[in-house]
Each structure stands twice: as C-alpha cells, then as structure tokens.
C-alpha cells in the first residue's frame, strides 16, 4: 500500500459529528500493521476523556492481535476549503506507538505526500536516562 493510498484510506473514515457540543470524527487515521492489514480510527472527544484518531486505529490493530506497524497517517479536512491536511501525531500518540512495541521506533509516520519520518526521529530523548551522578 502506497502512502497516498493510506492517506486516502484515512480520509474515508472522516465523519465529523458534534454531540453535546463535542466534536468527534473530524480526524481520521489509518495504520498499516506488520501483518499487512490496514486499521482505521477517528478521534473521540468526550468531557471525561479524549482519544486521538491514531490511538483509535491502533486500538483496532491491537484488538486484532498486532502490535507492530509499518506506517501510519492521520488527516483532517477543512470543511470551508475542502483541503485535506496530514497531521503529525501528538506527543501522547508518539509515545504510545513506541510503548506498544519498541520495534515501532523504525516505523514510518507519514507527514505529507512525500514527507515521511521514522517514529524515532519524532521522539527525541525516548531512551530511559542514566541516573544522576
């Protein structure tokens, strides 16, 4: 699956819905697991807890028994202009991706049609620190 196809897959799950003043589904994510399957998710925003689209997609992947991924992307569409944006993952999602399997540090995060970074490039100082002398 190409990065463009993964971006399109993430776009397909966009479904913005406002419930009780909270916006859900305006960010979509798609992740290609090491098993070759694609998992999708959208963001959820409740007063008690919020979940990014990426972690929503990873939850589906983990539910299927997979913990490693090849690449991930999240997108948001501006309703006013119809333009699609690729969003970089937030810090919580970056750490989550690392913590579900350390091997994911080598996985790719899609940041645009031609812009891709390894997860480790997006998490400086991820290693456990040495004790103070």
Q: Would you tell me which residues interact with Zn ion (CB under 5 A)?
A: 52, 90, 93
User: Helix axis angle, 53-63 relative to 91-100, nearest 10°?
Assistant: 20
In this complex, which beta carbon is closest to Zn ion, that of residue 43 or of residue 132? 43
**Angle at CA of residue 116, ends 92 and 31, nearest 5°:** 55
At its nearest, how many Å lie between Zn ion and the CB of residue 33? 18
Question: Which residues lie closer than 8 Å to 24 by C-beta, 6 or more apart?
Answer: 16, 17, 18, 42, 43, 44, 45
Residue nearest Zn ion by beta-carbon distance: 52
At its nearest, how many Å lie between Zn ion and the CB of residue 122? 12
In this complex, which beta carbon is closest to Zn ion, that of residue 7 or of residue 55? 55
In this complex, which beta carbon is closest to Zn ion, that of residue 38 or of residue 57? 57
């Amino acid at each position: 699956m190409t990065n463009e196809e993964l971006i399109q897959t993430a776009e397909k799950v966009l479904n913005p819905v406002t419930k009780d003043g909270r916006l859900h589904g305006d960010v979509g994510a798609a992740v290609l697991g090491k098993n070759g399957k694609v998992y999708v998710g959208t963001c959820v925003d409740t007063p008690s807890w919020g979940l990014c689209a990426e972690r929503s997609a990873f939850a589906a992947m983990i539910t299927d028994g997979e913990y490693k991924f090849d690449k991930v992307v999240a997108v948001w569409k501006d309703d006013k202009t119809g333009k699609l944006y690729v969003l970089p993952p937030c810090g919580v999602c970056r750490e989550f991706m690392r913590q579900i399997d350390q091997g994911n540090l080598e996985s790719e995060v899609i940041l645009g049609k031609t812009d891709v970074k390894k997860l480790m490039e997006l998490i400086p100082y991820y290693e456990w620190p040495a004790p103070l002398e």
